[in-house]
Amino acid sequence: MAVPKKRTGHSAQGKRRSNWKATKPELTTCPSCGAKVLTHTVCTACGQYKGKVVSRKSEGFVEDAKEVKEAKKAPKKSTKKAEAPAEETKVEEVKEEVVVEEAKAEETAEASEETPEA
């Protein structure tokens, strides 16, 4: 590895760094709300990018779109991970059955209240 034989002087160091400058970031205006935004970034005021809703700040944001994209991805071929989702679906099915049974019980209770007993 190369090692300098002598220290670099202040003037030589300054000459080398003469073109090392900070630049202003490029700003644009958001087409939907008119706020100043860095180029190629989501608007922090309204949550839109290129006219599309992409952030939770915007009014038309839908979280289901993310779930649909994740569902389209192919699952990995791992035996441990493949077993876990199957168990979750069974639990969801049982919960749905319980909800249906409770709804039927409520309907029968309402029907028995409406019919007067003799």
pLDDT 10s digits, 87-117: 555 666 766 777 777 777 777 777 766 666 5
What is residue 82's three-state secondary structure?
helix
What is residue 29's three-state secondary structure?
strand
Measured in whole angstroms, how far is the alpha carbon of residue 1 from the centre of its chain?
47
pLDDT surpassing 90 at residue 48: no
Domain ranges across the chain: 25-73, 76-113
CB atoms within 10 A of CB 47: 20
In sequence order, what are the residues at sequence separation of 6 or more whose Cβ sits closer than 8 angstroms to the Cβ of residue 58?
Answer: 46, 47, 48
What percentage of the chain carries pLDDT values higher than 70? 64
For residue 14, what pLDDT is reported?
94
